[in-house]
Structure 1
Amino acid sequence: MSDTIAPEGTTAAGPKASLTPHTPLRRAVMLVNPLSGSVGPRAAGEAEAILADYDLEARVVVLEGDFDAAIAEAFAEEPDVIFVLAGDGTARSVASRAKPDGPMIAPLPGGTMNMLPKALYGTADWKDALRRALEEGEPQYVSGGEVGGEYFYCAAILGAPALWAPAREAIRTGKLRQAVGHARLALKRAFSGRLRFSLDGGRKRRAEALVLISPMISRALEEPVGLEAAAMDPLDAMQAFRLAATALFTDWRQDPSVSTQPARRIDAWARSRIPAVIDGETIRLKSEATVRFAPKAFRALTPKPPAAEDSV
């Protein structure tokens, strides 16, 4: 039996689904990490089936081995959009590489926290987010921050509390011995030395931790005028536990040990290297670090207005 060739703009099953009228989409690459979060081994095949419904030249790449080489190859194809179904760190790396003048990026919910995908698409269902981007998306700049050459688009935590992140991750992956070691280090460092910082060249202040939240995620910022800088300064463990409970059940900004304001430049320094978590990834900054607001960090393919479901 000979193969049946469907007319242009159709499939053998019928006409193609309509692509977004807001921006030209001709070529796309989709990066899939089946080992990430809730992605799973069938995701690549499911993505190919969805993309086949549209009149679009699309290629699905399964990330394995050398992620950096696969990402570089995706950019070399000069697609109109790169979809990323992977962990939060991989999505951050792809967006950081794209910058404002690169291809549009669509970070689909495939990680653990999925804060940025939820804010952009209003769902934790990557298939729904993919279809919404294809059918309703348009280019929109996403703001964020940059520190030490690393970009973040949701939030950064500077200071000793960031040391708890490795313990949390070790528990999540079942590495209990490592979790205990990280927890002991975090306890040892907690309240042992305050972080010093200044906002937009203002007076020097001290805090136990400084949380910097992007306008996309922040409930306190209606316009992208800067990062929301939240200084958290519990005096002891009891206040720290109270602050944690406040963050879970009420608006944590109302806690008396928290002060917030927008800032475009944040200078921070400490006696030793500053522990930090940016979009869920733990890094170590130099003892002196500058965080800068990036009003146009990268272009996302997202429905307008963004969903902004996952805000803090």
Structure 2
Amino acid sequence: MVANIASGGVGPDAPAEIAQICADLGLHTHICAPAKEDLTNCLRGAVDAGPDLLVVLAGDGTVRAAAELCGPTGPVIVPLPGGTMNMLPHAIYGQRPWQDALSVALAEGEPRMLGGGEVEGRHFLVAAILGSPALWAPAREAARYGQARLAWIRAQRALRRFFSGRLRYALDEAPRAKTAALSFLCPVISRALPADAAALEAAALDLHGVRDLVSLGFHALRGDWREAPVVAAVACQRARVWAAEPIPAILDGEAVRLASAAVVAWRPDVVRVLSLPKSLRGA
């Protein structure tokens, strides 16, 4: 069990609560609650120990890192809602507090292979955003921590840079096109695709002026950029993306910088998760 106690939805009492839940079920559990800078090393050590199950109480970005370390043949993971968005845990376990999600997963869960996306050797289980909207991520983080002035400064910086570069892209066998940005959603959270779809939900963010830009920026700061009216989605298994300079991106909430040419592809076997039957997810 790896708990990011610095994450917004966790707290310092989480390790003791986890120990009690597992003890009640007769499980032997090793709990690691590292400092933020040691989180990756803790995850790596946990996977290297070869456990039957790896429980991750953190945000979507930490779950993404755990999934990369485990791969399709490593430990089964239990992604608990310990971050801000918690899109993956909510899709798998429903809108439950992490304590309830852990209890029901251990009691009722079954291993299930989870697909996702891959770009430049990195995987994502929730979503990827490529292009200028990724520059809004620092502003969103500042807003999340109540740093209003810093959020405003970063939002202005993102606004100035928004039209600095256009992406060229081709989705599957479709003709090449241009756009301000691209987003890719995994089927487990997509509203346009069934959960068992063998594809990503791809959307070009088509901006025609300041009004569209402000709309997208507003939704990006709130964390629900999919609600912006400039987004239109299609199913896609493989996309080629290129630009005149390195491409800013967000993978499951983590800001990264991609090369000026990248391939985004659907992968059916990213990691195994302890999943609930569909009938129990809405509880």
With normalisation by structure 1, the TM-score equals 0.82
1:197 matched residue in structure 2: 169
Please tell me whether the aligned partners of residues 247 and 259 of structure 2 are also in contact (alpha carbons under 8 angstroms).
Answer: yes
In the alignment, is the contact (CA less than 8 A) between 2:169 and 2:242 conserved in 1?
yes
Pair 98,37 (structure 1): closer, same or farther in 2 beyond 3 Å: same
**1:218 corresponds to which of 176, 187, 190:** 190
Change in Cα spacing, 1:306 to 1:178, as seen in structure 2 (3 Å) is farther
CA gap 1:172/1:254 in 2 versus in 1, 3 angstroms: closer
Per the alignment, residue 54 of structure 1 pairs with 25
* Residue among 269, 282, 290 paired with 2:242: 269
Unaligned residue ranges in structure 1 (runs of 5+): 1-29
When residues 246 and 34 of structure 1 are mapped into structure 2, their CA distance, relative to the original with a 3 A threshold, is: closer
The alpha carbon displacement at 1:266 in A equals: 1.0
The residue number in structure 2 matching 1:259 is 232
Distance 1:99 1:251, change over 3 A: closer
Give the AA of the match of 1:41: P
2:107 pairs with 1:131: no
- 1:121 pairs with 2:93: yes
Aligned to 1:236: 209
The answer to whether the 8 A contact 1:144-1:293 is kept is yes
Pair 1:296-2:269 in alignment: yes
Q: Which amino acid is 1:120 matched to? A: I
Task: Give the deviation of 1:283 after TM superposition.
Answer: 1.1
Higher helix share: 2
User: Which residue pairs with 2:9 in the alignment?
Assistant: 38
Q: Secondary structure at the match of 2:30?
A: strand
Distance 1:254 1:185 in 2: 20
- Going from structure 1 to structure 2, the CA distance change for 1:253 and 1:35 (only over 3 Å counts) comes to closer
SS of residue in 1 equivalent to 2:160: helix
**Aligned-partner Cα distance in 2 for 1:306–1:277:** 32
Q: Secondary structure at the match of 2:207?
A: coil
How far apart are the structure 2 equivalents of 1:32 and 1:284? 27
State how far apart, in whole Å, the 2-side matches of 1:234 and 1:251 are: 13
**Contact residue 216 and residue 225 of structure 2 kept, 8 A:** no
Aligned partner letter, 2:19: E
What is the TM-score normalised by the length of structure 2? Answer: 0.90
Alpha-carbon offset, residue 307 of structure 1: 6.5
Residues 307 and 230 of structure 1, relative CA distance in 2, 3 Å threshold: farther
Range that drifts further, 260-269 or 170-179: 170-179
Task: Tell me which amino acid in the other structure corresponds to 2:49.
Answer: E
Report the residue type matching 2:174 in the other structure. G
Bigger radius of gyration, 1 or 2? 1
Q: 1:72 and 1:273 mapped to 2: Cα distance?
A: 29
Say which is worse superposed, 37-46 or 83-92, in terms of deviation: 83-92
For residues 188-232 of structure 1, give each alpha carbon's deviation from its aligned partner in whole angstroms, at most 9, with x where no partner exists.
122333211111143111111111000000011113221010111
Structure-2 separation of matches of 1:306 and 1:66: 37
Secondary structure of the 1:52 match is helix
- Partners of 1:306 and 1:281 lie apart in 2 by 31
In the aligned structure 1, how far is the partner of 2:263 from the partner of 2:70? Answer: 22
Q: Distance in 2 between matches of 1:308 and 1:233?
A: 34
Give the conservation status (yes or no) of the 8 Å contact 2:215–2:228: no
In 2, are the aligned partners of 1:253 and 1:260 still within 8 Å (CA)? no
**Contact persistence 1:114–1:124 (CA under 8 A):** no
1:66 partner SS: helix
Report the Cα distance in structure 2 between the residues aligned to 1:118 and 1:207, rounded to whole angstroms. Answer: 31
* Per-residue Cα deviation, 1:148-176 (whole angstroms, up to 9, x for no partner): 22211111111111111111112222445
Letter in 1 for 2:5: P
Which consecutive unaligned segments of at least 5 residues does structure 2 have? none
Q: Deviations along 1:3-36, whole A, 9 cap, x unmatched?
A: xxxxxxxxxxxxxxxxxxxxxxxxxxx1112111
Change (3 A) 1:161 1:194: same
Q: 1:80 aligns with which of 42, 48, 52?
A: 52
Post-superposition offset of 1:252: 6.0
Structure 1 match to 2:253: 280
Q: Is the 8 A contact 2:133 2:217 kept in 1?
A: no
Please give the root-mean-square deviation of Cα atoms over the aligned residues, in Å. Answer: 2.5
The 5 A counterparts of 1:93-112 are 93-112=65-84
> Secondary structure at the residue paired with 2:175?
coil
Cα pair 2:111 2:275 within 8 Å, conserved: yes
SS of the aligned residue for 1:57 comes to: coil
Structure-2 separation of matches of 1:174 and 1:242: 21
